[in-house]
Structure 1
Amino acid sequence: MQTVSRKPVVIVTAADLAPQALDMLTPFEVVFAGKQPTEDDIVALCAAHKPVAIIVRYGKVNARIMDAAENLQVISKHGSGIDVIDQEAAAARGIAVRAAVGANAAAVAEHAWALILACAKSVPQLDMRMRDAHWDKSTHKSVELDGRTLGLVGLGAIGRRVAAIGIAFGMRVIAFDPYAKEAPAGTQLVSLDELYATSDVVSLHCPLTAENRQMLNRDTLARFRRGAILVNTARGGLIDEAALAEALASGQLRSAGLDSFDVEPMTTPHPFRQIPNVILSPHIGGVTDAAYVNMGKGAAANVLAVIEQHAHNAA
């Protein structure tokens, strides 16, 4: 009896992937891990299916998962943040790690601006007051952004889009990025200390590394211009959350807009829930209709590129 050769497997750490990405992956059997897969769930799937690739949407990929997938050639992130992948463990095992760089840049930049504007104009707070029958016209003052300074930590694909919008709003735009060789027109590269001290709005757009974990702490938040706005659509681990809660309570910061947290989903109870001048969203900056397709296609393309390179090298 003739046996049918089974397609190599790609595991997706989610319950779905854009149809356009699935079309690209027809040479593979795609196995979904579910909506919120645990480490044990992914290990079990790896042991059962021996995937050649993992597309990471939710959760983390560590050495234990890699060791359960003995045929693994590539770990492909559905997005740009690869801090959820143990890159040292992957390198030690000869497993490629790839990111869909820029695939969600427009989405995240737009959400950063949604949070900046919500903070500057107190949109959620005024909405709640109106629903409670208050009319705060005589007592409320919003922050006007025209002529103010926007400080960007990170000037990659997302940061550059945020900068362009800031310039369109009439803001002075400054940025810190140790890897940027030049800044786009209208944006000035400065030191991190100068950025903290002179910005009216600080927006984070850098990857999380061992070196910059909790870069915003009691010491650095104290150097901010009093009454500044902080927005984080990057990674929660960049901020010492207890220190931020203190800075918001004391008035050192006017407000903060946060789309990412040190532990996700955000733990319960959490002090941020009781702080009126922080605006929260559940790490959905990159989750839009277009970005869903772009990130899926980018992640699939990275899988195909690495697998093809392996096949070429083996030939």
Structure 2
Amino acid sequence: MNPSLIVTGADLAQQALDLLGGYEVIYAGKTPTEDDLVALAKQHDPVAIIVRYGKVGAAVMDAAPSLKVISKHGSGTDTIDKVAAKARGIEVVAAVGANAAAVAEQALALLLACAKSVVALNARMHAGHWDKATHKSLELGGRTVGLVGLGAIGLRFAKMADALGMRVIGFDPFAKNLPDYVRSVDLDTLWREADAISLHCPLTEENRGLLNAATLAQCKRGVIVVNTARGGLIDEAALLDAVRAGQVMAAGLDSFAVEPMTAGHPFQGEPRFILSPHIGGVTSDAYVNMGVGAAQNLLAVLAKAPATA
């Protein structure tokens, strides 16, 4: 009988499944709860879990005594309890960079949509208006974009911003050997100098609420905020106040503190918020890249793990 692995999702790219031919793959569905995952873990005792949706905490790990590796279908591992995993000798791995192009392109799309009023002008045009005489867009060339996080996604975005003629500054205490078009700065400098800010860092307890009333007040009036990373990086109430007050010209957001966003969220109906449902990494190419990366990573861990009796 083949060892089993659980996918916290409803599917996996065929190219990834081809790599996992020696394993029984069990799907948890698109919206698995912790109880769902605990039940599946108890039933199948997987050696590996591929995390797409939902959270994997200590209860799930304890329900799977044979579990050796938790592999993220993507780069962000904040939905995995890494402390609990380490305590149990379970390795956590991520498909870093597998969706870098997709997410960086989404960040650029949101930045351009904010600067060029794409959504508002589209709505006006469909309503029969022609605002050429009254509308002025923002030109990005020559302006400064500040990137928080200079990993695979942040650097991909930096390259595109540089191609637009933007000045690129960035903060990342772990980044090394940066390209010459990225100037490393501290956060105070970034808030002070950036005309647009784009977040590309993982969410940690240390940076939760990084963009808040105090830091937004340090920014230039009329700054653009883009977030394709994690919603918890932003104090959403403070951002709403800053946009309404004009301190932030517009916000392009692909991630939110609570997902999925539910009806009645304060951002809904606000004209200077451009919103997308955390789909930055959801492209056909990234789907394959993340699946293959997750499969390769877990196979590498299992290859070096001692066999169970």
Is TM > 0.5 for Structure 1 vs Structure 2? Answer: yes
SS in structure 2 at match of 1:155: coil
The equivalent position to 1:156 in structure 2, one of 151, 154, 161, is 151
**How far does the alpha carbon of each residue in 1:33-72 deviate from its partner, in whole angstroms, 9 at most, with x for none?**
1121111111111110000000000011011111111111
Give the C-alpha shift of residue 132 in structure 1: 1.2
The equivalent position to 1:120 in structure 2, one of 115, 119, 124, is 115
The one-letter amino acid of 1:94's match is: G
The one-letter amino acid of 1:61's match is: V
Rounded Cα–Cα distance in structure 1 between residues aligned with 2:52 and 2:176 = 31
Q: Which runs of 5+ in 1 are unaligned?
A: 1-5
Give the C-alpha shift of residue 135 in structure 1: 1.2
The one-letter amino acid of 1:27's match is: G
The reply to whether residue 229 of structure 1 matches residue 229 of structure 2 is: no
The reply to whether residue 280 of structure 1 matches residue 237 of structure 2 is: no
The equivalent position to 1:294 in structure 2, one of 289, 304, 308, is 289
**How far does the alpha carbon of each residue in 1:80-102 deviate from its partner, in whole angstroms, 9 at most, with x for none?**
00010000000011100000010
The reply to whether residue 219 of structure 1 matches residue 190 of structure 2 is: no
The one-letter amino acid of 2:144's match is: T
Rounded Cα–Cα distance in structure 1 between residues aligned with 2:27 and 2:92 = 19
Tell me what 2:245 maps to: 250
Rounded Cα–Cα distance in structure 2 between residues aligned with 1:238 and 1:63 = 24
The equivalent position to 2:98 in structure 1, one of 103, 108, 133, is 103
Rounded Cα–Cα distance in structure 1 between residues aligned with 2:202 and 2:30 = 25
Give the C-alpha shift of residue 311 in structure 1: 3.5
Rounded Cα–Cα distance in structure 1 between residues aligned with 2:133 and 2:70 = 56
Rounded Cα–Cα distance in structure 2 between residues aligned with 1:23 and 1:121 = 44
Tell me what 1:26 maps to: 21
Rounded Cα–Cα distance in structure 2 between residues aligned with 1:150 and 1:288 = 25
The reply to whether residue 11 of structure 1 matches residue 9 of structure 2 is: no
**Any runs of at least 4 consecutive aligned residues in structure 1 with deviations exceeding 2 A, and if so which?**
none
Give the C-alpha shift of residue 182 in structure 1: 3.2
SS in structure 2 at match of 1:210: coil
SS in structure 2 at match of 1:116: helix
Give the C-alpha shift of residue 187 in structure 1: 1.0
Normalising to structure 1: TM-score of the pair? 0.96
**How far does the alpha carbon of each residue in 1:173-225 deviate from its partner, in whole angstroms, 9 at most, with x for none?**
11111111232121100111111111111000000001000011100011111
Tell me what 2:236 maps to: 241
Rounded Cα–Cα distance in structure 2 between residues aligned with 1:81 and 1:216 = 19
Give the C-alpha shift of residue 128 in structure 1: 0.7
Tell me what 1:3 maps to: none
Matches within 5 A, 1:142-181: 142-181=137-176
Rounded Cα–Cα distance in structure 2 between residues aligned with 1:83 and 1:36 = 17
Tell me what 2:33 maps to: 38
Normalising to structure 2: TM-score of the pair? 0.98
Over aligned residues, Cα RMSD in angstroms? 1.1
Give the C-alpha shift of residue 267 in structure 1: 3.0
Name the stretch that deviates more: 75-84 or 181-190.
181-190
Rounded Cα–Cα distance in structure 2 between residues aligned with 1:184 and 1:170 = 15
Tell me what 1:91 maps to: 86
Rounded Cα–Cα distance in structure 1 between residues aligned with 2:206 and 2:266 = 26
Tell me what 2:299 maps to: 304
Rounded Cα–Cα distance in structure 1 between residues aligned with 2:179 and 2:153 = 13
SS in structure 2 at match of 1:117: helix
The reply to whether residue 70 of structure 1 matches residue 65 of structure 2 is: yes
Tell me what 1:61 maps to: 56
The one-letter amino acid of 2:304's match is: Q
Rounded Cα–Cα distance in structure 2 between residues aligned with 1:263 and 1:141 = 34
The reply to whether residue 260 of structure 1 matches residue 255 of structure 2 is: yes
SS in structure 1 at match of 2:183: strand
